[in-house]
Amino acid sequence: MTKQQDLQTAASSFQSFLEDLHSKYKSLRDGSVANYIPELAKVNPDLFSICIATVNGDIYKVGDYNQLFTIQSISKVFVYGLALEDHGRDYLLTKVGVEPTGDAFNAIILDEKSKRPYNPMVNAGAIATTSLIKGSSATERLNRMLDMFQRYTGHNMFVDISVFTSERITGHRNRAMAHLMLNFGMIDQHLDESLDLYFQQCSVMVNCYDLAVMAATLANKGINPFTKKTAVDSRYIKDILSVMYTCGMYNFAGEWAYKVGIPAKSGVSGGIIAVVPNLMGIGVFSPLLDFRSNSVRGVKVCEELSQQFGLHLFDCSHNKLNFCS
Ligand code: GLN
């Protein structure tokens, strides 16, 4: 067999593996969909997709990968990257820490001493991060954010207005966090505008295919493997992946790091992205959530992928998948 044929065989057995994985977990009905706003509560709980994009520009997809949903907290990863580009690492560290909290994502807490939110992957830290996005008007800030998302996905991005409106009307905890941070001078007076931008970033529409491509862009030093365009300055990849690794899966982040061992981020609409540096980006979508608000099937799929292919960053006993490098 030629090398080309070898690669094709490996690729098709990987696709079959993903199809089997999808059928295995399709019957898992544990968990419940987010219900804090009607738009999320009415989602079909059976939706389920797995996509993997490699840094070489190959994509593997199974299930409902065209289904659109709001990105929710997964947006925090990418907005953090934009804020790093806007202000640099040192300034950002004065405004948002990099410590995991061990608390729920929407806990109303700040670091006792520094008054910073703990990290950019929980709501308080994300609101502070979003408030730092540069632009001369609210419209310009939103457009810069949408352009940034577009660099990761390779196509135009839009906000779901009804989700945005619901988030905005019901987001009292987020508003409380913003006021607490305003009290301590951690965010500025334009609090309502920053909150609107935060609710808009949560309401950006993506599908599972997009998630995989966005994750693959992070795996590929910030360059979208399909468009070949730079989405984020490569010097910030290690900052982004570090906080994803330690803080991305809410108060499950430690167990995730231990078991799955790759940087990841989840959102309440049921998405998870996971990044295997220099190899691939994983996107999973399934709206049934566990009590920590991580997708039940999403966690299972990532655990199994990691075990099967030795993706844990500290696993040296395994040869990583050879057909994508
Ligand atoms: N819009 C949600 C919020 O701000 C996002 C939370 C999430 O995905 N964890 O509460």
Question: What is the 202 CA–ligand 1 centroid distance (Å)?
Answer: 7
Fold match, 3-72+206-324 / 73-202:
yes
Fill in the amino acid letter for 191. L
Pocket of ligand 1 (CB under 6 A): 72-73, 105-106, 123, 167, 174, 202, 267-268, 293
Q: Which residues are catalytic?
A: 73, 76, 198, 250, 268
**Which of 52, 32, 14, 15 is closest to 297 using CA atoms?**
32
Structural Rg of the chain based on CA atoms: 19
Q: How far apart are CA 132 and CA 117, in angstroms?
A: 14
Pocket test of ligand 1: the residue of 167, 199, 285 to mutate, having most ligand atoms within 8 Å of its CB, is 167
Residue-level pLDDT at 317: 80
Domain ranges of the chain: 3-72+206-324, 73-202
The CA angle 95-178-102, to the nearest 5 degrees, is 70
Q: What pTM was computed for the model?
A: 0.96
Q: What is the CATH number of domain 73-202?
A: 3.40.710.10
Question: Going residue by residue through the chain (325 aa), what tens digit of pLDDT does each one get?
Answer: 788 898 899 999 999 999 999 999 999 999 999 999 999 999 999 999 999 999 999 999 999 999 999 999 999 999 999 999 999 999 999 999 999 998 889 999 999 999 999 999 999 999 999 999 999 999 999 999 999 999 999 999 999 999 999 999 999 999 999 999 999 999 988 999 999 999 999 999 999 999 999 999 999 999 999 999 999 999 999 999 999 999 999 899 999 999 999 999 999 999 999 999 999 999 999 999 999 999 999 999 999 999 999 999 999 886 666 655 5
Question: What is the 281 CA–ligand 1 centroid distance (Å)?
Answer: 22
Residue-level pLDDT at 319: 61
Residue-level pLDDT at 1: 75
What the block records as the tokens of 88 is 């640099």
Ligand 1 atom closest to Cα of residue 199:
1
Coil, strand or helix at 185: coil
Q: What is the CATH number of domain 3-72+206-324?
A: 3.40.710.10
H/E run at residue 40: helix 38-41
Alpha-carbon dihedral 103, 106, 108, 114, rounded to 10 degrees: 70
Q: How far apart are CA 173 and CA 199, in angstroms?
A: 12
DSSP string, 117-167: -S-TTSHHHHHHHHTT---SSHHHHHHHHHHHHHHHHSS---B-HHHHHHH
- 262 burial via Cβ count (<10 Å: 0-12, 13-18, 19+): buried
Nearest CA owner, ligand 1 atom 10: 106
Q: How far apart are CA 96 and CA 129, in angstroms?
A: 7
Pocket test of ligand 1: the residue of 77, 78, 106, 205 to mutate, having most ligand atoms within 8 Å of its CB, is 106
**Which of 229, 220, 121, 127 is closest to 176 using CA atoms?**
127
Residue-level pLDDT at 321: 64
